[in-house]
């Protein structure tokens, strides 16, 4: 299966990396790209969706820009153009978009309807995406592009929204899953669709150790 976000993004978007090391805000933090799609990796910028209060990995607009580069949504040259900007309210809009996308994606996976308000919000964003999109001829074909010169600090949010809308309208929704432990999202590309955890080194490993603990406890109970 190949996921084709139709666009704006460059080819690197399709190249998945397991993890990149960056410094987020004050603390060193590892950006984990386990979603298999930049829009899902964007949803996974919350430490754990089941946890309250939420630990957000997007604390500043700079954090969001660094995520954009790690996820292949922004080119290095674009990162340089955005670096040092406060984003002019874009961080708030990114977080709001992430909330809406989280609810809509979660509802799709769970086979539930989304709220009118959430669908309305996404539709409004889709209009904004369209208003900032222009066409370029690249290698004999047309490519839809959202560029920094036109969209400014909104470029990251609009590209993510565009990629997310493409994903959520595609056949790949059948393979969308969320981790039962932390609520992170991913595309299950395994042949028999057996992937359960966001990552075997985190949630998968702790589930295994819990099972081990239960077995050990049951064995002790059996002894006694």
Q: Is 179 in the site for Zn ion (CB under 5 A)?
A: yes
Rounded distance between C-alpha atoms, residue 181 and residue 197, angstroms:
8
| CB distance 132 to 158 below 8 Å | yes
Q: Is 203 in the site for Zn ion (CB under 5 A)?
A: yes
Residue 68: partners with Cβ closer than 8 Å, 6 or more residues away: 74, 79, 156, 159, 160
Cβ distance to Zn ion smaller for residue 104 or 198: 198
The closest alpha carbon to 104, from 39, 9, 51, belongs to 39
Rounded distance between C-alpha atoms, residue 132 and residue 151, angstroms:
6
| CB distance 155 to 78 below 8 Å | yes
Q: Is 182 in the site for Zn ion (CB under 5 A)?
A: yes
| CB distance 126 to 139 below 8 Å | no
The window from 67-75, 82-90, 122-130, 192-200 that contacts Zn ion (CB under 5 A) reads 192-200
Q: Is 181 in the site for Zn ion (CB under 5 A)?
A: yes
Q: Is 91 in the site for Zn ion (CB under 5 A)?
A: no
Q: How many residues in total does the chain contain?
A: 224
- Per-residue contact string for residues 123-162; x = within reach of Zn ion by CB under 5 A: ----------------------------------------
The window from 23-31, 56-64, 123-131, 179-187 that contacts Zn ion (CB under 5 A) reads 179-187
CB of 191 to Zn ion, least distance (A): 21
CB of 170 to Zn ion, least distance (A): 23
CB of 33 to Zn ion, least distance (A): 14
Whether residue 53 is preceded by a cis peptide bond, meaning omega within 30 degrees of 0, is yes
Q: Is 40 in the site for Zn ion (CB under 5 A)?
A: no
Token representation of residue 193? 């669709």
Q: Is 198 in the site for Zn ion (CB under 5 A)?
A: yes
Cβ distance to Zn ion smaller for residue 158 or 179: 179
Give the residues lining the site for Zn ion (CB under 5 A).
179, 181-182, 184, 198, 203
């Amino acid at each position: 299966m190949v996921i084709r976000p139709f666009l704006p993004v460059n080819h690197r978007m399709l190249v998945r990396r397991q993890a990149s090391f960056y410094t987020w805000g004050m603390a060193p933090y590892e950006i984990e790209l386990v979603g298999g799609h930049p829009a899902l990796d964007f949803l996974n910028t919350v430490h754990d969706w089941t946890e309250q209060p939420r630990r957000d990995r997007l604390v500043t607009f700079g954090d969001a820009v660094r995520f954009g580069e790690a996820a292949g949504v922004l080119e290095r040259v674009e990162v340089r153009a955005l670096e040092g900007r406060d984003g002019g309210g874009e961080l708030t809009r990114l977080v709001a978009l992430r909330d809406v996308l989280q609810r809509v994606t979660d509802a799709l996976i769970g086979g539930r309807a989304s709220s009118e308000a959430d669908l309305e919000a996404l539709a409004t964003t889709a209009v904004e995406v369209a208003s900032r999109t222009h066409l370029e001829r690249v290698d004999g074909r047309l490519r839809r592009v959202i560029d920094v010169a036109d969209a400014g600090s909104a470029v990251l949010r609009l590209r993510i929204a565009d990629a997310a809308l493409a994903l959520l309208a595609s056949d790949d929704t059948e393979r969308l899953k969320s981790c039962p432990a932390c609520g992170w999202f991913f595309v299950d590309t395994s042949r028999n669709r057996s992937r359960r955890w966001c990552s075997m080194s985190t949630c998968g490993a702790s589930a295994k150790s819990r099972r081990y603990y239960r077995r050990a406890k049951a064995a002790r109970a059996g002894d006694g």
